[in-house]
Amino acid sequence: MISPFCVTVDCDSLHEHHAVWGLPAPSGPEAGVFYQRSLEEAVTWLQTRGLPATFFITGARVPEGVVPVLLRLQKAGHELGNHTWSHPYDLSRREACTVRE
């Protein structure tokens, strides 16, 4: 018997990953590259294996025109999770009351 497992996809942009690691911000039109290319590749990979996934979405960073894609994910049996509205990365430098919000 196969052990149960969970596939999660963190839908952050390249800019956010660069910021986390202290790298210079990428140049060019990268804002929607995850939703325009990588998301479809991830869904295809999951579908060929019959795997459902949870996609964590940061509300303030969803590019225009992506809502229909997200609804298709949901209809295909994937779960959409709230990854906060703005996903600040510097919580260790913020006041406790801000972190609780």
pLDDT tens string 72-99 = 889 989 999 988 887 776 677 778 887 7
CA 25 to chain centre: 18
Please write the tens of the pLDDT for every residue from 34-66.
Answer: 777 788 888 888 889 888 899 988 888 787 788
Domain ranges of the chain: 8-21+30-100
- What is the value of pTM for the model shown? 0.69
pLDDT at 54: 92
